[in-house]
């Protein structure tokens, strides 16, 4: 086996010159991180990332690109320069893209390069990457860092069920199934209900203004948490979704009533997986759970086309617990330089994190995972994520 060589790209022109090689690498991998696809990375650089300097950790084997970990320089008024992953404002996972042999060399290279920065922060990494790659590397390198479990990650594994009815019976009790049928019937009594997947980019363009309107009326829009709330973020998502839809890497499902948009769901497609990125519904129809009904339609679509996993991604929401069949974890990693400042920063950050954890501690919530006694994923099982 050839030795893995690492280089750091800090020039935007050089970063864009990697695009063709990056696409070849991404398409060759069995389950790459969809949030670091070439479309995600370069769309971000063209829009949200225009004001930032790039910092790409790249790996090569015999001259061939075998790993990419894209960061950008983030400047704080007092604290200095740090590194954040490309797409930090929008994405839900920051594992590197690359062959397994490239992972540890890229982590080690980042550990060396951090000397020129105050920190590198990856808010969301998978359990497999955290436990099998980061922890061994950090123990060996003895680099100051904070690595902790941040949020549950819930998934539906379709190989457990012969069909969609089997899934419904596994995750919902009789009363809940009856309630969902009743809500679907009440919604249909108000007019013609249709749930479908938008066919192409042209359809997306036609529906996009209505998606923005529905989000603005929703609790996400009212609280400022919607993905279209800020103008620059909305422009990023519009361009990104056009590109991903054109390449078959995204899916937009909608629920309409008499032709009017009531709910939509945005998902990103892996080789045999689906990541639910955002779902929004019109609050005027909340009593009939249009978002939940559309989500079930999306799960059924994934099951019928032979996908293996429906991934709810980050955050501990009750509906995710209820509708999932396996729980994993997502981790938070902060890397600090080997220096007095780095050591002090670690103490301060650990204190702040402990205070935040105590402040935000929640009661344990129960859902289908506990009722059906599905096991929590082991580290070995989680490698499939």
Q: What percent of the chain has pLDDT over 90?
A: 76
Q: How confident is the model at residue 28 (pLDDT cuts 50, 70, 90)?
A: very high
Per the CB < 8 A criterion, the answer to whether 73 and 52 are in contact is: yes
* The dihedral sign for the CA sequence 146, 7, 93, 104: negative
Per the CB < 8 A criterion, the answer to whether 172 and 368 are in contact is: yes
- Residue 243 reports pLDDT greater than 60: yes
Q: At what angle do helices 201-217 and 231-246 cross, to 10 degrees?
A: 150
Q: Following DSSP, what letter does each residue of 225-287 receive, concatenated?
A: --TTSSHHHHHHHHHHHHHHHHTT-EEEEEEEETTEEEEEEEEEE-SSEEEEEEEEE-GGGGG
pTM: 0.87
In whole angstroms, what is the distance from residue 41 CA to residue 317 CA? 28
In whole angstroms, what is the distance from residue 209 CA to residue 50 CA? 25
Per the CB < 8 A criterion, the answer to whether 278 and 265 are in contact is: yes
Per the CB < 8 A criterion, the answer to whether 368 and 160 are in contact is: no
- Residue 85 reports pLDDT greater than 60: yes
In this predicted model, what pLDDT tens digit does every residue of 259-303 receive, in sequence order? 999 999 999 999 899 999 999 999 999 999 999 999 999 999 999
Query: CA 188, 163, 203 angle in degrees (round to 5)?
Result: 50
Q: What would the mean pLDDT of 41-53 be, rounded to a whole number?
A: 95
Q: In terms of Cα–Cα distance, which of 80, 156, 140, 50 is closest to 104? A: 140
Q: How confident is the model at residue 338 (pLDDT cuts 50, 70, 90)?
A: confident
Q: How confident is the model at residue 371 (pLDDT cuts 50, 70, 90)?
A: very low
What domains does the chain contain, in order, with CATH numbers? Answer: 4-150+330-384 (3.40.630.30), 156-326 (3.40.630.30)
Q: For the beta carbon of residue 355, count every other beta carbon within 10 angstroms.
A: 10
In whole angstroms, what is the distance from residue 187 CA to residue 257 CA? 8
- Residue 361 reports pLDDT greater than 70: no
């Amino acid at each position: 086996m050839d030795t893995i060589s690492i280089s750091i790209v800090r020039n935007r022109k050089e970063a864009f010159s990697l695009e063709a090689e990056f696409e070849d690498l991404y398409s060759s991998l069995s389950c790459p991180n969809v949030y670091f696809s070439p479309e995600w990375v370069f769309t971000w650089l063209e829009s949200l990332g225009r004001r930032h300097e790039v910092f790409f950790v790249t790996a090569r084997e015999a001259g061939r690109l075998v790993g990419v970990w894209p960061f950008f320089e983030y400047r704080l008024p007092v604290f200095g320069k740090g590194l954040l992953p490309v797409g930090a404002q929008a994405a839900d996972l920051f594992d590197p893209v690359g062959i397994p042999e490239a992972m540890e060399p890229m982590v080690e290279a980042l550990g060396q390069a951090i000397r020129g920065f105050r920190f590198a922060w990856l808010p969301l990494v998978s359990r497999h990457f955290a436990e099998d790659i980061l922890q061994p590397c950090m123990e060996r390198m003895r680099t100051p860092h904070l690595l902790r479990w941040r949020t549950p990650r819930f998934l539906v594994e379709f190989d457990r069920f012969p069909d969609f009815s089997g899934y419904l019976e596994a995750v919902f009790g009789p009363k809940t199934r009856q309630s969902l049928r009743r809500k679907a019937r009440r919604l249909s009594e108000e007019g013609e209900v249709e749930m479908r997947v938008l066919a192409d980019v042209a359809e997306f363009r036609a529906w996009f203004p209505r998606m923005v309107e529905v989000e603005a009326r929703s609790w996400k829009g009212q609280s400022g948490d919607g993905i279209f709330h800020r103008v620059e973020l909305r422009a990023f998502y519009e361009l990104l979704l056009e590109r991903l839809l054109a390449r078959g890497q995204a899916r937009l499902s909608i629920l309409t009533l008499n032709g009017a948009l009531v709910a939509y769901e945005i998902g990103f497609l892996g080789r045999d997986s689906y990541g639910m990125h955002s779902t929004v519904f019109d609050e005027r129809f909340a009593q009939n759970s249009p978002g939940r009904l559309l989500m079930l339609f999306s799960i059924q679509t994934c099951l019928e086309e032979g996908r293996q996993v429906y991934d709810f991604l980050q955050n501990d929401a009750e509906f995710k617990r209820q509708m999932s069949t396996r729980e994993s974890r997502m981790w938070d990693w902060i890397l600090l330089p080997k220096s007095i400042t780095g050591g002090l920063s670690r103490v301060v950050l650990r204190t702040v994190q402990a205070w935040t954890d105590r402040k935000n501690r929640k009661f344990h919530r129960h859902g289908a995972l506990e009722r059906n006694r599905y096991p929590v994923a082991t580290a070995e099982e989680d490698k499939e994520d």
